[in-house]
Amino acid sequence: MTDSSPAGQILARFRLAWPGFELDVDLTLPGRGVTALFGHSGSGKTTCLRCVAGLERAGESHLEVNGERWQDSAAGLFVPAHRRALGYVFQEASLFPHLSARRNLEYGLRRVRAAQRRVDWDHVVKLLGIEHLLERLPGTLSGGERQRVGIARALLTSPRLLLMDEPLAALDLKRKNEILPYLERLREELDIPVLYVSHSPDEVARLADHVVLLDQGRVVAQGGLRETLARLDLPTALGEDAGVVVESVVAEHDDAYHLTRLTFPGGEVLVARRPEAPGQRLRFRVHARDVSLALTRAEGSSITNLLPARVEALAAADTPAHVLVRLDAGGTPLLARITRRSADQLGLAPGLPLWAQIKAVALLG
Amino acid sequence: MPLSVHDIAAIRLTLELASLTTLLLLLIGTPIAWWLARTRSRLKGPVGAIVALPLVLPPTVLGFYLLVTMGPHGPVGQFTQSLGLGTLPFTFAGLVVGSVFYSMPFVVQPLQNAFEAIGERPLEVAATLRAGPWDTFFSVVLPLAKPGFVTASILGFAHTVGEFGVVLMIGGNIPGVTRTVSVQIFDHVEAMEYAQAHWLAGGMVVFSFFVLLALYSSRRFKPGFN
Amino acid sequence: MHPVHRFCTALLLCLPLTAVADDVQVAVAANFTAPIKEIAEAFEKETGHRVVTSLGPTGGLYTQIKNGAPFEVFLSADDGTPAKLESEGEIVPGSRFTYAIGKLVLWSAQPGYVDEQGEVLKKNDFKHLSIANPKTAPYGLAATQVLDKLGLSENVRPKLVEGGNITQAYQFVATGNAELGFVALSQVYKDGEITGGSAWRVPDAMYEPIRQDAVILKKGADNPAAQALVDYLKGPQAAKVIAAYGYEN
């Protein structure tokens, strides 16, 4: 399993052709943090994940995870799924129905040699808040509880790579919000690289450090979360969902107006009162459709959040009626989706200074 | 006592035959059913059809071919003779072989259905939890297919108990060796010994009823996978 | 003519055809299949009547007759069943007669295995001796009578294998699964000789005659063709055929 490939990286190249579908990807991913495989359904993201897991066998393939070679079609190497030190979380928790939650957790744990166990039982059980569920059968658990047990089960195999296939897609909003904090803690507390498949921009924006955008079995873009989401050539693939993610810090609370001030490089925004304490980090998302532009600072407007910015570039949007404008707000990239007519009337051109009016922010936390 | 010594010997023999046949069928039928449930081979159709043949063939046809192939001039007979085992017709072992063929679909098909119902997902889950194929089979497939095994055992056992044509064709009606209950009933009826026939036949009806009752009761619980 | 009328007329024209006196429905015991074919052919050629045969085991045919089967003549493989039908009032009184007497033969598929005196039985040098079920088949009963007469019943008992009927007893021997067995001469006999293997024709004195009786059933009482067939069966042409198949009459 030794190889000259750089540690701290995941190299994945898969090519497979099915009737009506083709996957052709060549990825170089960071060997740590959360990488989102993002795209519409049918874009090949789940197939790609299954290839990494060894559940799907691509005709032409090469896979190295942090220096360990798992697959190389040229060398005839294919490590079967059960010999890959990975964890897999399926869309539906897929717990074994004949085993209690505890026995489900033990199933994977027992199959890993004691010397190779690096994840602590108590830690994981506490991290996912499932202490009180251990003796229950899967049939008696809610969807969210099942999914938390499923995640814990995968973690307890001490994986070198955690694969998550839309772990929240089968859950309603309430359950999603119940699990998301656990996933964030996972990212912060365990040093396990995660490949996270999702078609939800919010989920990706909230959890991912790195993004791979897939469309029709091909990689459209890959890179850091902020840069990738703010790229002008991608939003066409995203349509209405185009937007950016901003990393901010809670600055202070205004208890009189029940507001919280968030600061970030290049500006600040006011949002409805947040529970986080000052100093804490908070991500939020700004949809391009929620940003309007003005040449002068608007007075007498109800819009609170105004940021000085500079036009960087313009590009076609998802409809012929709109254009996308990429802005630089003092170091923070923003996207605005406005009508072509407005763009012409404002005389938008690269370098033009103006004011970005932010109608809404979506807080991710 | 309404049952004669011969009747009781026939009952004991039948139970022995059915137990042994069921046991063998579970051993032989499980891999066949597993293969049928999982394969994408083009042989799936033909193999499935061969296994199902006893469902549609008259038992006398199966019995006749067994008689010929296991006889001293048949290929199976030559093989068993070369092993110094003699030939199989008129022996208990011969009945077991015949019953295994005859009851095969009743064991293989419920197992195949159970395996197919499990689907791909639990096997994939097990693989991502480091369980190899054999490990997966014993730790996941067997427990999940338990209702299928119960059904297969009950049907295989009951069908062997009720088997008549094949036994008649290759058994030779030897008391204590090949004279099963169904043949004994046939003899009683043919000889117009209706009283004895009723005791045995009625017993069969009651037995079959309870077997099916057990079967349908056991089907109430079906754990789902999610 | 209205189409419906035309259809009805056609139907009426057809009806008598199924009931004309020219047809006779015969139930025949399966072991008499070959001879009845030959006899029926000759009979049809000579009389212009038509014979419709239904073949089956004697017991099965009896059950069918009791349950309203449209048979007019019944050729049984034994004498007990026709007697039973007679006592039950199912036949034309006085119509019962023996059309053939079955002959028992000890037979092996291997040439030279059975000697002409049946000494092979006393040597007891075989693994399986096939007979028909003596409780239900006349040939099986006859076989046990022969063994009793020879004083061999006890010796061969462990080696006896029983066929459910005489056809099966023959099958066991023909396939070699049993080295020898008591079968019907008609099964191994054609045109005055044994067709294959080796055989001992058991002397008549060693077993009760295996009579095969025929009757005219009540359904055939008014059918001249039924009477004609019975008359033909008793005649010399039929006797020749019956003898050629190894029966006495």
Mean pLDDT confidence for A236-259 = 81
With a cut of 50, say whether residue C108 has pLDDT above it: yes
Mean pLDDT confidence for B180-200 = 83
Partner chains of C (3+ C-beta pairs under 8 Å): B
Give B14-62 pLDDT, tens digit per residue.
999 999 999 999 999 999 999 999 999 999 999 999 999 999 988 888 8
Distance CA A306, CA A287 (A): 15
* Residue B82 is assigned to a structural domain of this protein: yes
Domain locations in chain A as residue ranges: 9-229, 281-364
Give the neighbor-by-neighbor strand order of the sheet with A322-329.
A291-294, A353-358, A305-316, A322-329, A332-339
Q: C162 and B68 in contact by Cβ < 8 A?
A: no
**What pLDDT is stored for residue A299 in this prediction?**
81
Q: Are C242 and C117 in contact (CB under 8 A)?
A: no
Q: Which residues contact residue A347 at a Cβ distance below 8 angstroms, ignoring those fewer than 6 apart?
A: none
Mean pLDDT confidence for C93-98 = 94
Average pLDDT, chain B: 89
Residue with tokens 């254009």: A323
Written as six digits, the tokens of B94 are 């011969």
A94, A109, A153, A163, best to mutate vs chain B, most B CBs in 10 Å? A94
Average pLDDT, chain C: 88
Q: Which residues contact residue C76 at a Cβ distance below 8 angstroms, ignoring those fewer than 6 apart?
A: C29, C58, C61, C62, C82, C212, C213, C214, C215
CA-nearest residue to C165 within chain B is: B168
With a cut of 80, say whether residue A155 has pLDDT above it: yes
Could you tell me the CATH superfamily of domain C104-201?
Periplasmic binding protein-like II (3.40.190.10)
Q: B124 and A138 in contact by Cβ < 8 A?
A: no
Please report, rounded to a whole number, the percentage of residues in chain C having pLDDT higher than 90. 64
CA-nearest residue to C80 within chain B is: B191
Q: How confident is the model at residue B145 (pLDDT cuts 50, 70, 90)?
A: very high
- Note whether C touches B: 3 CB pairs or more under 8 A: yes
Name the fold adopted by A9-229.
Rossmann fold (3.40.50)
User: Which CATH number fits the domain A281-364, given the four candidates 1.10.3260.10, 2.40.10.340, 2.40.50.100, 2.40.70.10?
Assistant: 2.40.50.100
Give A300-309 pLDDT, tens digit per residue.
788 888 899 9
CA-nearest of A61, A46, A35 to A161 is: A35
User: Three-state DSSP class for A194?
Assistant: strand
Q: B128 and A112 in contact by Cβ < 8 A?
A: no
Q: Which residues contact residue A318 at a Cβ distance below 8 angstroms, ignoring those fewer than 6 apart?
A: A235, A236, A238, A239, A240, A242
**What pLDDT is stored for residue C3 in this prediction?**
52
**What pLDDT is stored for residue A189 in this prediction?**
80
Distance CA A303, CA C3 (A): 91
Give CA A30 to chain center in angstroms: 14
Distance CA A36, CA A164 (A): 9
Give CA B35 to chain center in angstroms: 18
Residue by residue, DSSP assigns A276-302 as SPTT-EEEEEEEGGGEEEESS--SS-S
Between vectors from CA C35 to CA C30 and to CA C41, what angle results, nearest 5°? 115
- A268-294 burial, b at 16+ Cβ within 10 Å, e below that, comes to ebebeebeeeeeeebbbbbbbbbbbbe
**What pLDDT is stored for residue A40 in this prediction?**
83
C61, C88, C175, best to mutate vs chain B, most B CBs in 10 Å? C175
Q: B173 and C171 in contact by Cβ < 8 A?
A: no
**What pLDDT is stored for residue C19 in this prediction?**
39
B72 closest CB neighbour out of C130, C162, C177: C177
Give A3-38 pLDDT, tens digit per residue.
444 557 899 999 999 888 999 999 999 988 899 998
Topology agreement, domain C3-101+211-244 and domain C104-201: yes
Amino acid at the residue C22:
D
**Which residues on chain B place their C-beta less than 8 Å from a C-beta of chain C?**
64, 67-68, 70-74, 86-87, 89-90, 168-174, 183, 186-187, 190-191
Give C116-142 pLDDT, tens digit per residue.
888 999 988 899 999 998 988 899 999
pTM, two decimal places:
0.77
B191 closest CB neighbour out of C135, C164, C176: C135
CA-nearest of A76, A83, A46, A60 to A12 is: A60
CA-nearest residue to C131 within chain B is: B172
Residue by residue, DSSP assigns C189-235 as EETTEE-SSEEEE--GGGS--EEEEEEEBGGGTT-HHHHHHHHHHHS
Please report, rounded to a whole number, the percentage of residues in chain A having pLDDT higher than 70. 95
B90 closest CB neighbour out of C128, C164, C176: C128
Amino acid at the residue C95:
S
Q: Which residues contact residue C28 at a Cβ distance below 8 angstroms, ignoring those fewer than 6 apart?
A: C36, C53, C54, C55, C56, C75
CA-nearest residue to C173 within chain B is: B71
Q: How confident is the model at residue C205 (pLDDT cuts 50, 70, 90)?
A: very high
Q: Are C37 and C85 in contact (CB under 8 A)?
A: no
**What pLDDT is stored for residue B220 in this prediction?**
59
With a cut of 70, say whether residue B221 has pLDDT above it: no
Distance CA C13, CA C19 (A): 12
Q: How confident is the model at residue B224 (pLDDT cuts 50, 70, 90)?
A: very low
A111 closest CB neighbour out of B125, B129, B223: B129
**What pLDDT is stored for residue A4 in this prediction?**
41
What one-character DSSP code corresponds to residue A138?
G
**What pLDDT is stored for residue A234 in this prediction?**
62
Q: Are B48 and C138 in contact (CB under 8 A)?
A: no
Higher pLDDT: C160 or B211? It is C160
User: What is the domain count for chain B?
Assistant: 1
Chain B residues in contact with C128 (beta carbon < 8 A) = 90, 172
Q: Are A286 and A339 in contact (CB under 8 A)?
A: no
**What pLDDT is stored for residue C4 in this prediction?**
52
Higher pLDDT: C227 or A182? It is C227
With a cut of 50, say whether residue B223 has pLDDT above it: no
CA-nearest residue to A87 within chain B is: B128
For chain A, the C-alpha Rg in angstroms (whole number) is 23
Of the given ranges (A49-53, A169-173, B153-157, C97-101), which has the lowest mean pLDDT? A169-173
Residue with tokens 């054999």: B134
Distance CA C183, CA C150 (A): 17
Higher pLDDT: C108 or A242? It is C108
Between vectors from CA A177 to CA A203 and to CA B129, what angle results, nearest 5°? 75
Written as six digits, the tokens of B222 are 């079906």
Q: What is the CATH number of the domain that holds B75?
A: 1.10.3720.10
**What pLDDT is stored for residue A237 in this prediction?**
53
**Which ranges of chain C would DSSP assign to H, the alpha helix?**
3-19, 33-47, 58-66, 80-87, 119-123, 138-150, 153-156, 166-174, 224-234, 236-244
**What pLDDT is stored for residue A232 in this prediction?**
59
Partners of A293 in the beta sheet? Answer: A356
CA-nearest residue to B142 within chain A is: A98
Q: B125 and A88 in contact by Cβ < 8 A?
A: yes
**What pLDDT is stored for residue C20 in this prediction?**
47
Q: Which residues contact residue C168 at a Cβ distance below 8 angstroms, ignoring those fewer than 6 apart?
A: B168, B169, C132
- Note whether B touches A: 3 CB pairs or more under 8 A: yes
CATH number for the domain formed by residue range(s) C3-101+211-244: 3.40.190.10
**What pLDDT is stored for residue B226 in this prediction?**
38
Chain A residues in contact with B224 (beta carbon < 8 A) = 97, 139
Q: Residue B63: which domain range?
A: 10-218
Partner chains of B (3+ C-beta pairs under 8 Å): A, C
Average pLDDT, chain A: 87
Mean pLDDT confidence for B140-159 = 93
**What pLDDT is stored for residue C211 in this prediction?**
94
Written as six digits, the tokens of A282 are 């908070």
